[in-house]
Amino acid sequence: MRPNKIKQMWREGKCATLGWLSVSHGFTAEVMARQGFDALCVDLQHGTAEMGDVLPMLQAISQTDTVPVVRVAWNDPAAIMKALDLGAMCIIVPLVNNAEEAAKAVAACRYPPVGMRSNGPVRAVHYGGADYVANANDEVIVMAMIETKEGIANLDAICATPGLDAVYIGPADLSFALGMAPRADNPDPLHIATCDKIREAAHKAGIKCVMHCAAAPFAAGAVKRGFDMVMLTSDASCMAAGAKAQLEELKAKTA
């Protein structure tokens, strides 16, 4: 089976980069995949994509060696299995509150006897290889998002869930959980300390921790703080920032 590059990087002690797809289009996915991210996530929770958009976006990503990731909208086994069958090599599950919910997410990502995933990798077998079913349990990554008060309270139990590969920090909802307004790259000391607490709990349990960032300076700090993967930027934010920068430069030069 095709090896999961992110798992390989983690075994070597490297921090991986993750890009984000909020726009539901194959060409956008292809352009982002060619920029050099280690992995790229199709966002079904807050992005504009629906399940019907996932296949062409994963096909676009797989023209490169970028690892295809899908964040599902909910901890729904049917959606998780469908995304995997279409070729996702990593699943991010939002709003995981306790170990039971984490175990449910893991089970949907693993074939029996380890989990409950149904056999039918209609595209994944072509992308992953003829021996996909025999090796998918070892190569597919499953991440649980820690971003609620209950999730923080049950942090150690979630991290100890057998088969869970990583926890993923959702900083905006985590801000809500901490009584703050959501913001990108939150510098508040309590927010920073909570993120570090999550990272430490993950590492203590022998799993990885991922930080969702909005820009390179904050992401660089997260790398230095020991996070194992950083989400750096999205297609939509890059498009808006690039257009705005060009307009502002034009206005400045023609004022």
Could you confirm whether 126 is annotated as catalytic?
A: no
Q: Give the C-alpha separation, 237 to 34, whole Å.
A: 17
Strand (E) positions, the chain? 16-21, 39-43, 67-71, 90-93, 141-146, 166-169, 208-212, 229-234
Residues ≥6 apart with Cβ < 8 Å to 52: none
Q: Which one from 46, 126, 191, 212 is the annotated catalytic residue?
A: 46
CB 227 within 8 A of CB 14: no
Show the DSSP H helices in 42-188 as ranges. Answer: 51-61, 77-85, 99-109, 124-128, 132-139, 149-153, 155-159, 171-177
Tokens (6 digits) for 98: 């306790």
- The residues annotated with a catalytic role in the active site are 46
